Structure formats: C-alpha cells, structure tokens
A and B are shown apart, each in its own frame.
Chain A
C-alpha cells in the first residue's frame, strides 16, 4: 500500500530539547516536503527536497533542519524547540509526474 509514515503522532516536549520527527515513503518519490498547519493559517511549507541531498527552504524554515540522505526518508529536526513551534506537522511526498501529493497522518507537537 502506498503510504507516507510519520512518527511520532503526538509529542510533548520542553523548550530547548532537540527532537526529530521521522518521515518515510514507500513510493520511490523524488519530492518530499514538510508543512506546519496552524489555525487560520492553512498549510505553510517548512522545507522541501527534490531528491537525495537536494533540499531547500520553504516559507517558514526558521528553527528547523532537514536532511535527505536516502530517497525514502526525510526527517524534520528541531534543534532547540520553542513554544511557537507548537503545531500540527505534515510530511508529504510526490512523484516527478506532477500528480497528487501523498500526506502522512500528521504529528501534533506541543512545546512547553
């Protein structure tokens, strides 16, 4: 089954404690991206990757890091989380054919 898997689904952490949200896809897609969703603001792109070792900033990259060492994985790293990064995060992947994007189930992050 084609899917994008994010982990964890829920995470509560404290300010400044580094964390990683993992994302994996099984469709051999070239393109992967991270979004955050906040009430009234829709989906805002954090980072995206067009292929292995190729990443670029989206619209709200501050405070986040990503890496793309393998095609299937695209982890999101928060080196020093702050309360304003409390949000619902989604990973998505998309193939080269400009078709639909596939989304993960989401990670609800709370930073206290």
Chain B
C-alpha cells in the first residue's frame, strides 16, 4: 500500500521562483525522506527528516514535518531548469524493518 501522497501532482514554475511540494501520510513514522527522479532514471535521495524533527535544510532545500497533521513539505528555493524532475516522499513506518513507502510523486517543471 502506498503511504505518502504528494500534492500537487504537477507543478510548473519559472526559474528563480520557489517550488513547494507537499506530502501527506496516514500512519506514525520513524522518518520521512524525499527523493528526486530525473526522467526514467533511478531515484536519488535528497533529505531525511526524523519524526522528532520539525525542519531541516540542505542547500536550497528546506523540509518541514508536522507529525500532528501527518504531513511534510519540500521547498526548493530559487529554482533552476536543472531542478526539473519528479519528487517523491517516502515514509519509514518503523514497523517493518527497512521498508519505505513511496507516494506517487510530484512532477516539477522549471522553465528557463
């Protein structure tokens, strides 16, 4: 079963703008992760936030986690055309060792 649901399904912005993607999930988690996928390629890990953390930064990425609302957001600041990709959230429920549950992804297009 898929745990996370990303919103929106697709996002189209201009270079320089900020992109915000959201992820909602249904059960308690150990951590939540965001991945990026360039067209047809393997997923690449971006950032991990643990259940006891509320915000995390990595370069132009900012992730927030609200466990009371069971939601997370990924903010990419000052977007570039090279950020064009699909972005997935994945949750580690903590119950099944090692298993990650992925959402359906947000397709981000950044226009030059």
Contact = CB atoms under 8 A, between A and B. Distances in A.
Interface residues of B, number: 26
A42 B105 contact: yes
Which secondary structure characterizes the binding site on chain B?
Answer: loop
Interface string A76-95: 00000000000010101010
Contact of B104 (A41, A48, A102, A105): A41
Contact of A105 (B35, B41, B94, B98): B41
B25 interface: no
Interface residues of A, number: 29
Contacts of B102: 35, 42-43
A88 B45 CA distance: 19
A26 to B, nearest CB: 15
Contacts of A31: 97-99
Interface in A62-112: 88, 90, 92, 94, 96, 98-106, 108
Interface of A: 4, 30-31, 33, 35, 40-45, 48, 50, 59, 88, 90, 92, 94, 96, 98-106, 108
